[in-house]
Amino acid sequence: MLDRNLKVLVVDDEEDSLEQIRGTIKSLGYNVITVSSGKEALRVLEESNDINIVLADLVMSEMNGIELVKEARRRGIRQKFIIITAYGEMDSYIEAMNLGVVDYINKPMNSEQLIRVISKVVENEK
């Protein structure tokens, strides 16, 4: 069972995807914040120390998911990151894992897959 106090930040510049993921997380009773850019995500992460997990899209304008993780780490932000993508490529997967991303999942993802990934992250924190 997931912690109901879990707070997830979802970063995606595609509104449909953002809403679908937000809806899945909210339907489970978890807290979710959504933003549409890496810059917004960094602002939220710097202002809030109670975010547990960041789900970030790989391909976004301005700042992609890998760049977001790099900049977050440079700023000392240590939350768990999960990269989501419709464009899974081995190079980006390897780079993400080398940066300490905890998972890398392909879109479209179903609710069960999202729940499994988040559960795994939470279990590994215990």
Residue 126 inside a domain? The answer is: no
- How crowded is the C-beta side of 79, counted as CA atoms within 13 Å? 28
Residue 19 inside a domain? The answer is: yes
Which among 79, 124, 84 has a CA at the least distance from the CA of 104? 84
Which pLDDT belongs to residue 1?
46
Residue 116 inside a domain? The answer is: yes
pLDDT along the chain (126 residues), means of 10: 76 92 85 96 93 94 94 94 86 91 86 83 71
Which pLDDT belongs to residue 22?
92
Number of domains, the chain: 1
> By residue range, what is the domain housing residue 115?
7-121
Give CA separation, 118 vs 63, 71, 74, 75, 90, in Å.
24, 22, 24, 24, 22
CATH assignment of the domain containing 102: 3.40.50.2300
* Beta-carbon count within 10 A of 72 CB: 21
Which pLDDT belongs to residue 15?
92
Residue 1 inside a domain? The answer is: no
Rounded to two decimals, the pTM is 0.90
